[in-house]
Amino acid sequence: MDTLAFWLPLLLLFVSALMGTALKRRTRDHCLKKFEGSKIILPTSTGKWESGRLKVFAQGIELTFSEAKKEPCGSVNSLVLHPNEVGQIPYFLRPAPPPDTRLGVTWERELQRIRRPSMTDRGWRAALNFYNMLRDAFGQAAQAILGAITKDSSFSKVKNSDKRMSEMQAGLTELVPNAWEPVLEKYRGHPIVVERKTSTGLIKESGILEDYSSKYLLVREVEVREPELLKFLEDNPKLGTKHDLVYSRGTSMIRHTLSEQSQSLTPA
C-alpha cells in the first residue's frame, strides 16, 4: 500500500506533464493556422518584405523559401521567427490563387461559404461561442477537480505538482479558441474596414471578416491601400490582384462596417 501511495502521485504528475506538453504544442493561433502551407508575404523591420511557405508553431513561425537565398554564412532555405519577433509583424499577406485554377475556384467557394455559412457551419460556431461564454465556468470546474486531486497528502508532497496540474488545466482551456467578442462575431462574413498604423500614419482597408482571435484579425479579399505595399504588389504582378490578410490587433482594429452593396472604401 505504501508503494502504491508513493508511485501513484509520480505517475499522475508524469501524465499531467505529458498532457500539458502535448496540449501546449497544439495551441497555435487559429487565424494564423488558416495560412498554414500557403505562400505569404510579411514586412520586415528594415522596410522590405519576406515571402515563403508558412509553417505555424506554438512558439513561432517558419517561412520556407522557394529558392535558397545566399547569405555570407551560406545558402539559407528558410527564415525562423520567434514569438517576440512574430508579435512585431503588423500583418501577413496571402495572395489569392489565379481564378482560372482549381485552387482559385476553391478560394472563391470558401469566400462564398464565409459570406453565406451553411446551417452546419452556423451550428458549429454557435456551439463554440456557447463554450466561450461559459469558459470561465469550465475553467473553475476544472480547477476545482484538479485542486481536489492535488490536496491529496501524498500528491502534494511531490515537488512542482501544483505547477504541473495548473499547466495542464491551462492547456485544456486554451486548446479551444476563446476570443469570443459579440461585436466582431456579429460581422463575421460581412464587409468591414480595418484601420491600422503604418510608418506614414493611419490607413483604412476594406475586406470580408472571416475570423478573429485575441491577437489577430483574418480578413479576406482585402483592398490594399498602403502605398509601399501597393508598389510592391504592382512590381510583382504574379501575386495577383486579390489578397487575404491576417492583421495584428496590436496595430490594427475594425473601425467601420460597410453595406453589402459596397466593397470599396471611399477615402475619409
Tell me the pLDDT tens digit for each residue of 79-137. Answer: 999 999 999 999 999 999 998 899 999 999 999 999 998 888 888 888 877 766 666 56
Would strands 39-43 and 201-212 be described as parallel, antiparallel, or unpaired? unpaired
149/211 same-domain check: no
Q: Residue 265 has what pLDDT? A: 47
User: DSSP class of residue 124?
Assistant: H
55 located within any domain:
yes
70 located within any domain:
yes
Q: Residue 268 has what pLDDT? A: 44
11/91 same-domain check: no
111/131 same-domain check: no
Cβ 61 vs Cβ 79: under 8 Å: no
3-state secondary structure of 151: coil
Q: Residue 76 has what pLDDT? A: 92
133/249 same-domain check: no
Domain membership of residue 167 as a residue range: 2-28+123-174
Distance CA 126, CA 117 (A): 12
Distance CA 31, CA 216 (A): 7
Q: Residue 46 has what pLDDT? A: 78
263 located within any domain:
no
179 located within any domain:
no
Q: Which amino acid is at 20?
A: G
Backbone angles phi, psi at 110, to 5 degrees: -60, -40
Q: Which amino acid is at 95?
A: P
159/248 same-domain check: no
Nearest to 203 by CA among 234, 226, 221: 226
Q: Residue 261 has what pLDDT? A: 61
Structurally, the chain folds into a number of domains equal to 2
Angle at 122 between CA 258 and CA 245, to 5 degrees: 45
82/206 same-domain check: yes
The whole-model pTM stands at 0.75
